[in-house]
Chains A and B, each alone.
Chain A
Amino acid sequence: MSQRGAACGDERIRRLLMSGLDGEMPAEERKELQRLLESDPALKEEWDRLLRLKEVTDTMVFKKPPDVVWDDYWTSVYVRLERGIGWILLSLGAIVLISYGIWVGAQQFVSDVEMPLYLKVAVMATILGVVVLFVSVLREKLFMGRVERYKDIER
């Protein structure tokens, strides 16, 4: 058998093992699995190990949270939604007000003839730095965060 053929055979056996364990197997495949298990001791050993694991996982269930959690769930979602909208409005308002303040301050600052040039340059560089950092962080939050880096990697 070619290597590819062997790999396909392995894959089929793995799927037979899974559907056999999970009870999602048609009758004809059950006979095929039975035959394979009888003829291959290593496969039988693996089957027994998977069966023991299945017995363990079958006894485990999710731990339930207290019922009160469900009573407050929607309220919690609603409050978070409302606060999210509040934060967006507050941020937008603050951005407009701060930008206006900076613009007015910068105009007065530039037109001040008594201010030394080096001081003007330093203040402008600081403002420009803050703007660049803000735009960079904003861009990262809005665009880069949406891209799931590993979404195309199949494991």
Chain B
Amino acid sequence: MESDFPAEHEVNDNVLVLKAQAGDREAFGQLVTRYMRRAYYAALGLTGSHEDAMDLSQEAFIRAFRARASLDPDRPFYPWLYQIVRRLCFNLARDRRTRRRRLEEATPWLRDQAGARAAVSDPGRSAERAELRGRLEAAIEALPEREREVLVLKEFEGLRYREIADLLGIPIGTVMSRLYTARRNLAEHLGDVL
């Protein structure tokens, strides 16, 4: 089965970046295929919408291709791409019209594994879990963007503190502080069900 977050590759990213910089679209296509899932899920965590995540992650690749000349091939590709993804997502989230549309068209963007198991044996429990998932999604969406970002990277992308710090260019201590504030806010939102 293909992994969502590929780790090792036969052709190094920097070789593909150099080729893409020379105008090789096929090489850029390989980079897209390699990182499309990661970019999509990063955008999904920041926007909470499949459509927006698809649109913005693709837009990030387009901007990356246009700005490829400015990329240092010796530096990792994904952190650079991630900066584009997050900037696009934050800009979208600040748009009032987007917020209004989201409230009107909210669809689940998380899947509850425990809820899926409960659905088979106990429909009542399954409904409870569905409500919990909905409330968790709403509480995450209400978080300030930088707290939300760290929380998503930790909880749903499963990155370690060092990886988050490297990706965002911030100290590990800041990662932990933001994570603490995010979790405290979530716990307050979900107070009665925890």
Contacts and interface: CB of A to CB of B under 8 A. Distances in A.
A15 interface: yes
Interface stretch (A28-36, A78-86, A112-120): A78-86
19 contacts: A11-B177, A14-B177, A18-B180, A18-B183, A22-B154, A50-B183, A53-B186, A53-B190, A53-B194, A57-B156, A57-B186, A60-B110, A62-B41, A62-B109, A63-B108, A74-B33, A78-B25, A81-B62, A84-B62
Residue of A18, A21, A50 with most chain B CB atoms under a 10 A cut-off: A18
Given A50-B187, A69-B54, A60 B155 contact: yes
Interface stretch (B6-14, B71-79, B96-104, B111-119): B111-119
| A-B residue pairs, 7 tightest by C-beta | A59-B114, A14-B180, A52-B194, A63-B111, A18-B176, A15-B176, A60-B110
Interface of A: 11, 14-15, 17-19, 21-22, 24, 49-50, 52-54, 56-65, 69-70, 73-74, 76-78, 80-81, 84, 148, 154-155
Interface string B20-57: 00000100010011001100110011000010001000
A contact patch SS: helix
Contact of B111 (A56, A61, A78): A61
| Size category, B interface | 35 or more
Contacts of A77: 32, 58, 61-62
B136 A57 contact: yes
A62 B45 contact: yes
